[in-house]
Amino acid sequence: MKIARNRKAISQSLDLFIIIAAVLAVGGIVTAAVFSLAGSATTNSFLGVVQVQAAGGTATGTINSFSITVKNSGSSTITGTMTITFGGTVEASGSNLPIPTCSSGTAGIVAVTSGNTVQLTCSSLTLTPGEQVAISEGPVGTTTALTTGWTIGTKYTVTAALGSALQSIMVTA
C-alpha cells in the first residue's frame, strides 16, 4: 500500500532570495545609523566659520583689518544680533574705529570700551540654512588701529554668536 504524502517546501532559490534580502536589510540599517541618514524631525542651529582674515597694524599688538565669514550650517533659521568677540583683547581708550561692514546690509557697531574685550556686532540678522554673512572691520589706518594686545604668533580665540548658535575658532595673531 502506497501512502500519499503532500510535501511542500521552500525552493532553494527562494531560500537564497530570503537570506540575501535579510542581509541587505540589516546592512542598510547599520549604514543609516553610522552615517546618520535616519534621524528625528528636530531642527538645529549651527554656525560654521567659512573664512577669517586679520592684517596687522604698524604698531605691535594692533590689527589694521579683520574679517570673518560665518555660515548657517544648521537646519533652522537663526535670527538676532551677530557678535564677534576677540578673546584676549584689551582695548586702549580713545580708539576711533569705523563701523564694521556686514554683508547682509545691516548696520554694525564696534564695542570699544577702555580695558574691555573688543566686539564687532551686526544687528537684525536673519540667516536661513546654508546662508552666510561676512563681517569686516578696516582697514582702520595706522593712527586708529585696533589695539588688541595680541602677541604676534600667538593663538587667540575668536567667538561668533548669533541667537542660540555659537562657534569659536583659534586665530594666530
List the beta bridge partners of residue 134: 69
Please say whether the beta carbons of 118 and 99 come within 8 A: no
What is the domain partition of the chain in residue ranges?
Answer: 10-39, 47-172
By residue count, the chain amounts to: 173
- Check whether 39 has a pLDDT greater than 60: no
Computed over every residue of the chain, the mean pLDDT equals: 74
Gap between the Cα atoms of 163 and 10, Å rounded: 61
- Check whether 45 has a pLDDT greater than 70: yes
- Check whether 5 has a pLDDT greater than 60: yes
**What's the number of CA atoms in the CB half-sphere (13 Å) around residue 31?**
6
**From the centroid of its chain, how far is CA 15?**
50
Q: How confident is the model at residue 114 (pLDDT cuts 50, 70, 90)?
A: low
- Check whether 98 has a pLDDT greater than 70: no
- Please tell us whether the domain made up of 47-172 is placed in CATH 1.25.40: no
